[in-house]
Structure 1
Amino acid sequence: MSDVLDELFQIDALGPSGAYRSRNRMTVTEVGGKPVAELSLAPAPYVSRAMSALRKADTMDREARLAAIARAGEAFQNGTIAGLSPDEYHRMVSRISGLGIAEVRSAAGKIAAYSQQAWDRAQFARPLGVVPTTDHPSVGKGVGLWVRRGDVFGVHAAGNHPAIHGGWLEALALGYRVAVRPSRREPLTPHRLVTALHEAGFGHDHVIFLPTDYAAADEMIHASDLAMVYGGADVIAKYSGTRLLPQGPGRSKILIAGEHDWRDYVDLVVESASRGGGTGCTNVTTILVEGDRSVAADFARAVADKLALIPSLRPEDECAVLPVQPIEEARRIESYLLETAQGTEAMLGGEGIVDDLGDGSAVMRPAVHVLDSAADVQTKGIELAFPCLWFAPWSPEDGLAPLKSTLNLVLIGAEDGLIEAGLEDGSIRNVYAGAVRSYFSAPNMPHDGYLADFLMKSKGYVRVPDALPPAP
């Protein structure tokens, strides 16, 4: 191995026996192409043994595991983990993922907050009248008891944003043993979090970090009782099933209907599109406005003018907003966008969206296109990991159809009937009525349903003294 590779940060698999450095390693590069780390790829036999160890392990006491999760979250945010200080971790993730460093720092804070709230967040999904533990005072009268649907939870993670790793802490809080298969795009965050959990008191056979190739990832998922899978339509289709919770694209949308003036909502749309670099499933993708196509075009032009003012900066710049990609990947995405956008009117990005930084990386500039009709939304309105917007005219006759297949649907000025239809439609996961940014969230609100809806079930339980009462 060369002297250069010898100096790379080593991201080992973290299995039941501790750190594992495999022969098969992948070089992790920053967005400019410079190697910065080596990721050990665990082979399928190792994954199989690791998953077997998870299954054999005993569940940690609830109070002990919640305290350990909280300690891990604090250390994740503020401590030196696996040799990386918080500042070193933020900078490395920023350079690897292309996210602005301020956004990476914010994500670390969110993971720390999730670590303090994991149990309480899970309880929002608990059915009314169902108790969480067997020591509840009502068990003598007969209760519904909230219990796990299994013991081992697999996470096939995405690399678009570090904050997604706060979610699976709920499973750990509920008593699952957890296996995390990281994205090769950004494996540092889950490696840091799992290491912090081990240092906080979790056994190596309770939570593991399994970087793998796709074949070994299949082994991890098949060996899990339940699994959460992130990815595009191809990944979701590959792993579809009742034991799997898919986490796919959001395709979030905003509708401005009725007599409302779109000029009042330009900033709302700009912020909904650009927050976090536009990389999240809650960033808006499609904006529909009641009126003819000229109204949609005027709205799109006003939004494009503001998005165009966002500067192109390297991700380690504290003011960076737009994501950065390796130049080859940026060109590939650009070609896909331009091909998809044929026949639409470009208000921004019509000649391309790649801004070459001259170091092998490129900023993904915003794109804004206008569609001819609301009917084009479902075929043209693709979601990409930067501010990429599709505007279309809408009329009440179009109804709900162009608004479907949506994570977050913002309805401004909509009549009650349309709001109710959105709430009843199975392809629309969340409905925000009023002037709400598409990324709005609250601790008690589900994201794509509650994770604990998937993890838990209700079981009847009663406990009374063994001795029968005296006969009357």
Structure 2
Amino acid sequence: MTATRTAGGVYLDALGPRGAYRTRVPSAVTDVAGAEVARLSLVPPVYVTRAMAALRRAEPIPAAALDGLLAAAGDAFASGTIGGLGVREYEHLVSRTSGTPVTVVRASTRETARFVRQARSSAERGRPQGAVTGLRDPAVGEGRAVWARRGDVFAVNASGNHPGVHRLWLEALALGYRVAVRPSRREPFTPYRLVGALRQAGVRDDQLVLLPTDHQAADTVVRGADRAVVYGGDDVVARYAHDSRVLPQGPGRTKILITSDTDWRDHLDVIVGSIGDEGGTACVNATAVLVEGDPAPLAEAIAARLSALPSLPPQDERAVLPVCPLERANAIASHLGRVAAGARAWLGGDGIAADLGDGSAVLRPAVHQVGRADAVQLRTELPFPCVWVAPWSRADGVAPLRDTLVLSALTRDGALLDALLAEPTITNLYIGDHPTYWMAPGVPHDSYLSDFLMRSKAVIGAL
């Protein structure tokens, strides 16, 4: 597997069940300024169908080889040359195409390598205590639950907003699924590197494939799998809401709640970091802060911190904000202007697109204050540090905090915390001085992925 050099940059092949596959008419991968930096082979639906069939025929990775394989793959991803690309060139390409600051990409490289090495133990964390891993466990003879896959083939239709999205599917591979990854055409370098590192470490070509496609063929990838994860907006969530085989990963609408028994001034670093860390592009970045009392002083303080962030190209070592093509930045700014109508702009009211003069623009932070805890703006999530600050009262209750991937609760009210934990639509609850972007191997992101991939079967009898 080698990424061939071309006049336009790098040529990324599809990685099929029989090795690399190059199409005659590739798709251009451009950077944030519109310059072509790579060409990507897009495979047609018939190729996808054959690849998915090959995955279904293949055996899982042998359990005995898994730990050594994952360790080698993690090391290769972190520092090796994969497909002809060294780690620094890879990180530069990711930064230039996704617009993610290069320091964020580097941190993600280290974290992704850690997730690769711990994929097996992380997946095991989701196994019920009463279940064993296979028929050869002695306890099965007297009757025991056995943890078994719900299928054989897993697919992921990935997004390109952050390289960390590719950590999730590693657990499926560790659990014995054969995996098909449909990369984002915006940023295909991370899945290309990750699949390449795993293959280099010993995963067979027919156990893990990379299938770049257009949107039409993407449906073929999803339909050909027993289980699939699909990233997208509210439209994607609605589209797959009634398909039990698909786990949609939609907007996070992550929030922070601060009650009157807590002084927000003591936690301002965590609040601002939750909004702006990772460039504000992740689903775990806070997009709403609800405060018991007057929200204006907090909104003003957040705006003062975020306004000091520099506008720089993503490959600059000092960059901390996301960058995108100027045309897209202007469209996002126009959309924000419409959504924010009626809100008080503490930052970003006069525009959020900072033209870099090369066809790209920095997406600068925006801070708006709204008048109610149930203001419609709180459901708006945009791909940069954009936060809505709202008042909250005990009378508002839990309702404004629903539909939240991560809720950081700065409160000492035990009864309120019990209510927040009991609310089914609050996926994760962080109590106290913990940023919303905190994650670790073995700790669920949106429940355990194994809840979706595995089930417990009653088995009795010895082999």
TM-score range, shorter chain: over 0.9
Amino acid at match of 2:455: K
Distance 1:66 1:357 in 2: 46
8 Å contact kept, 1:286–1:389? yes
Contact 1:381–1:390 at 8 Å: present in 2 too? no
- Name the residue aligned to 1:119: 120
Of 380, 390, 393, the residue aligned with 1:392 is 390
Q: Is the 8 A contact 1:296 1:392 kept in 2?
A: yes
Matched, 1:420 2:396: no
| 1:224 equivalent in alignment to 2:222 | no
Q: Distance in 2 between matches of 1:18 and 1:194?
A: 12
C-alpha displacement at 1:372, in angstroms?
A: 0.9
1:356-371 matches, within 5 Å, as: 356-371=355-370
Identify the residue that residue 277 of structure 1 maps to in structure 2.
279
1:303 corresponds to: 302
Task: Name the amino acid aligned to 1:450.
Answer: Y
CA shift digits 1:33-89 (9 cap, x unpaired): 110001111100010011011111122211223322221221111111111111111
Question: Comparing 233-242 with 28-37, which one deviates more in the overlay?
Answer: 233-242
Aligned residue runs from structure 1 range 63-212, under 5 A = 63-212=64-213
**What is the distance in 1 between the residues matched to 2:149 and 2:155?**
14
Mapped to 2, the partners of 1:268 and 1:283 lie a distance apart of 11
Per the alignment, residue 287 of structure 1 pairs with 289
In the alignment, the residues of structure 1 paired with residue 273 and residue 403 of structure 2 have an alpha-carbon distance, to the nearest angstrom, of: 22
Q: Describe the superposition over 1:303-334 as per-residue Cα deviations: whole angstroms up to 9, x where unpaired.
A: 10011111111111122110111111111111
Letter in 1 for 2:149: R
Q: After alignment, is 242-251 or 440-449 more displaced?
A: 440-449
Q: Which amino acid in structure 1 is aligned with residue 318 of structure 2? A: C
Deviations 1:96-133 (A, max 9, x none): 11111111111111111111111110111111111123
Q: Which residue of 2 aligns with 1:434?
A: 432
How far did residue 302 of structure 1 move? 0.7
1:134-182 C-alpha deviation (Å, 9 max, x unpaired): 3323222221111111000000111111111122111111110000001
Q: CA–CA distance in 2 between the matches of 1:132 and 1:14? A: 31
Give the distance between the partners of 1:317 and 1:288, measured in 2 at CA: 34
Q: Give the percent of matched residue pairs that are identical in Structure 1 and Structure 2.
A: 51
Supply the distance in 2 between the matched residues of 1:381 and 1:229 (Cα, whole angstroms).
20
1:463 and 1:116 map into 2 onto residues whose CA distance is 35
Alignment of 1:450-461 (within 5 A): 450-461=448-459
What does the per-residue CA deviation read over 1:398-422, in whole Å, with 9 as the maximum and x for residues that have no partner?
Answer: 1111111100111112523322222
Moved more, 442-451 or 278-287: 442-451
- Alpha-carbon shift at residue 7 of structure 1 (Å): 4.3
Task: State the partner residue of 1:470.
Answer: none
Indicate the SS of the match to 2:27.
Answer: strand
Letter in 2 for 1:48: T
The answer to whether the 8 Å contact 1:66/1:173 transfers is no
Residues 353 and 366 in structure 1, CA contact (< 8 A), matched pair in contact too = yes
Amino acid aligned to 1:78: S
Does the 8 Å contact 1:290/1:395 carry over to 2? yes
Relative distance call for 1:288 and 1:7 in structure 2 (3 A) is: closer
Distance 1:381 1:243 in 2: 26
Q: What's the CA shift for 1:431?
A: 1.3
Hey, what does 2:327 align to over in structure 1? 328
- For 1:181, the aligned partner's letter is R
Alignment TM-score, normalising by the size of structure 1: 0.94
Measured in 1, the distance between the counterparts of 2:248 and 2:158 equals: 11
Q: d(CA) in 1 for partners of 2:204 and 2:183?
A: 19
The CA deviation at 1:203 is 1.3
Residues 406-462 of structure 1 show CA distances to partners (whole Å, capped at 9, x for unaligned) of 001111125233222222222111112222211123334211101111111101123
8 Å CA contact retained: 2:121, 2:442: no
- Preserved contact between residue 8 and residue 36 of structure 2 (Cα < 8 Å): no
Matching of residue 50 in structure 1 with residue 51 in structure 2: yes
Structure-to-structure mapping, 1:254-273, within 5 angstroms: 254-273=256-275
Structure 2 distance, partners of 1:414, 1:399, is 16
User: Is residue 226–residue 243 contact of structure 1 (8 Å, CA) maintained in 2?
Assistant: yes
* Counterpart residue identity of residue 324, structure 1: V
Q: Which moved more, 1:335-344 or 1:431-440?
A: 431-440
Partner of 1:237: 238
Q: Distance in 1 between matches of 2:105 and 2:211?
A: 22
How far residue 379 of structure 1 moved from its aligned partner, in angstroms, is 4.2
Mapped contact 2:131–2:144 kept (Cα < 8 A): yes
Question: What is the rounded CA distance, in whole Å, between the counterparts of 1:438 and 1:59 in structure 2?
Answer: 35
Distance between the aligned counterparts of 1:392 and 1:353, measured in 2?
A: 21
Match of residue 408, structure 2, among 397, 410, 413: 410
What SS does the aligned partner of 1:398 have? Answer: coil
1-side partners of 2:349 and 2:6: how far apart? 41
Equivalent residue number for residue 250 of structure 1 = 252
**What is the CA deviation profile of residues 269-320 of structure 1, one whole-angstrom value per residue up to 9, with x for unaligned ones?**
11111110011111111001111xxx21111011100111111111111221
Alignment correspondent of 1:354: 353
Contact 2:160-2:186 at 8 Å conserved across structures = yes
Partner residue in 2 for 1:214: 215
Amino acid at match of 2:255: K
Partners of 1:225 and 1:212 in 2: CA distance? 19
Larger CA Rg, structure 1 vs 2: 1
The residue number in structure 1 matching 2:460 is: 462
Paired AA for residue 460 in structure 2: V
Query: What CA distance in whole angstroms lies between the structure 1 residues aligned with 2:135 and 2:65?
Result: 17
Q: Which amino acid counterpart does residue 170 of structure 1 have in structure 2?
A: E
TM (norm. structure 2) is: 0.96
Which residue pairs with 1:468 in the alignment? none
AA aligned opposite 2:64 = E
* Residue in structure 2 matched with residue 469 of structure 1 by the alignment: none
Unaligned regions of 5+ residues in structure 2, if any? none
Query: Pairwise CA RMSD of aligned residues?
Result: 1.5
2:253 maps to amino acid: R
- Report deviation, 1:351: 0.7
Shifted more, 178-187 versus 23-32: the winner is 23-32
**Equivalent residues in 2 for 1:310-321, closer than 5 Å:** 310-321=309-320
Query: 1:344: which partner in 2?
Result: 343
Name the amino acid aligned to 1:83. G
Structure 1 Cα separation of the partners of residues 147 and 191 of structure 2 = 28
